[in-house]
Amino acid sequence: MAREYRTIEEVAGPLMLVRGVENVKYDELAEIELPGGEVRHCKVLEIDGTDALVQLFESSIGINVEASKVRFLGRGQMLAVSRDMLGRVFDGLGNPIDGGAALIPEAMLDINGTPINPAARDYPNEFIQTGVSAIDGLNTLVRGQKLPIFSAAGLPHNMLAAQIARQARVLNTEDKFAVVFAAMGITFEESDFFIKDFRETGAIERTVMFINLADDPAIERIATPRLALTAAEYLAFELEMHVLVLMTDITYYAEALREISAARKEVPGRRGYPGYLYTDLAGLYERAGRKKGNKGTITLVPILTMPDEDKTHPIPDLTGYITEGQVILSRDLYRKGMRPPIDVLPSLSRLKDKGIGSGKTREDHADTMNQLFAAYSRGKDAKELEVILGSEALSDIDRVYAKFSDEFEEKYVSQGFNTDRSIEKTLNIGWELLSMLPQNELKRIHQQFIDQYYIEDQEV
């Protein structure tokens, strides 16, 4: 029952006003047919009597107010999902762009999803191994968690994202693992890097990719993460897989949101972002999680570049309020040659304590984690003191700590983007480092673990 109208009244930016419509619903999808036969997509943003305010997903170039036709489709935006999505690459609207055949859908799902009932959630407490020591060892990612990566322009967050996508796995289970990758507003080169990297390493086999490029319409970017999460929900909660969703870059997404908000002449909040930015981001992030009675999980790792490395900018700020921790990349470490340049001290995984320990990782994990944090932080303090007062001012033990912090960055954090470390390996490297310190300094570790793992007579 498609209804066609030739009553476009005005077009301004991504918005279009269509008059005299009947029986059109809020959030309904529509198509615009240009005089040349080209078809573009849009959706209803507001419906006031017989006036529909419509938001274009694509460019407005060439739209002719007189001759273009608008066709309302009588449904919201849907995504065709199927288990065959794995290994495929789609554009930001869900059309295949890898030259493969069209999907045969197993289901059509509304891309907005529905909120998980808090009473039906299950608490995330199972470990995901990313193969990256700074994450697995110190800021452990847990299935069902949302843990963003805070980066900045010029830092290698894409390399880290690709590394996580390649290496991530769940231990001690036969359950299937999948990665859903959503790119919003990234450049062709970046997208090419990801696609090639996944193809070359075979990671593509278990990955679904949604790619919205920087020169694709900003508006399409609003749909891209929702498509990815809808696909993830199908894989996780229908097919009971463990799904890791990577999204890059949330900053571009928020900018797209701002663009539409400005076009709608809404009252802006901080820095021109709409007042509902928090609610909108939460609508994405909160789709991660676990449900009672379902084996599947959605773990979300959004990546965002902090404008001017400012953590109080609305995008990282609001993200931090919703997500369960953050992994922070540091330019200082990057300049020192650390790959990945993860700054472990301000990074935090709020759920880590629930996902580690005996039966999940190893019994000494919590203790060594705390000790490594404490020792690294003390080493950094010592080094700072050294800068101000000279190395004579340091006590012997502080000198050991200063050395420890260097070695820690070198051996523990800087593992390279192509090294996949098991959690055992990560914990053992931790012990090698901790064994630089005298035993009586390891106050946060239970004696039984020191007896078991401490390496005696290690050279300092």
Chain residues binding other proteins by CB under 8 A are 23-28, 45-50, 76, 110, 112-124, 144-145, 237, 266-270, 275-276, 278-279, 282-283, 285-287, 289, 291-294, 311-314, 317-318, 320-322, 324-326, 345-346, 348, 351, 353, 373, 377, 389
- Amino acid occupying residue 187: T
Q: CA-CA distance, 318 to 253, in Å (whole number)? A: 13
Residue 458: CB partners within 8 Å, gap ≥ 6? 432, 435, 436
Q: Which is nearer to other proteins, 110 or 410 (CB)?
A: 110
- Residues 60, 11: contact at Cβ < 8 Å? yes
Residue position matching structure tokens 């193969």: 131
Closest CB 360 distance from other proteins, rounded Å:
17
* Nearer residue to other proteins within complex by CB, 48 or 332: 48
**Least distance from other proteins to the Cβ atom of residue 412, Å:** 19
Separation CA 363–CA 374 (nearest Å): 19
Smallest separation (angstroms) from other proteins to the CB of 183: 23
Quote the least distance from Cβ 369 to other proteins, whole Å.
Answer: 12
Burial readout 104-114 (b: 16 or more C-beta within 10 A, e: otherwise): eeeeebebbbe
Beta bridge partners of 243: 178, 298
| Closest to other proteins by CB, 311 or 336 | 311
For residue 29, the minimal CB distance to other proteins (Å) is 10
Cα separation of 223 and 246, whole Å?
A: 15
**Closer to other proteins by Cβ: residue 111 or 203:** 111
In whole angstroms, the minimum distance from the beta carbon of 35 to other proteins comes to 28
- Minimum CB–partner distance for residue 28 and other proteins (Å): 7
Q: How far apart are CA 399 and CA 382, in angstroms?
A: 7
Tokens, residue 136: 């697995």
Q: Which of 193, 278 has the CB closer to other proteins?
A: 278
Phi, psi of 340 (to 5 degrees): -75, 145
Q: Which residues contact 90 (CB under 8 A, 6 or more apart)?
A: 96, 97, 208, 209, 210, 211, 227
Asked if residues 180 and 235 have their Cβ atoms less than 8 Å apart, the reply is: yes
| Bridge partners (DSSP) listed for residue 146 | 300
CA nearest to 411, candidates 391, 394, 383, 435:
435
Nearer to other proteins, 96 or 113 (CB): 113
Taking the complex as a whole, the smallest distance from the CB of residue 81 to other proteins amounts, in Å, to 16
The nearer residue to other proteins, 177 or 278, going by C-beta atoms, is 278
Beta carbon nearer to other proteins, 54 or 165: 54
Residues sharing a CB contact under 8 Å with residue 391, sequence separation 6 or more, in sequence order: 399
Closest to other proteins by CB, 12 or 120: 120
Q: How far is the CB of 49 from other proteins (least distance, A)?
A: 5
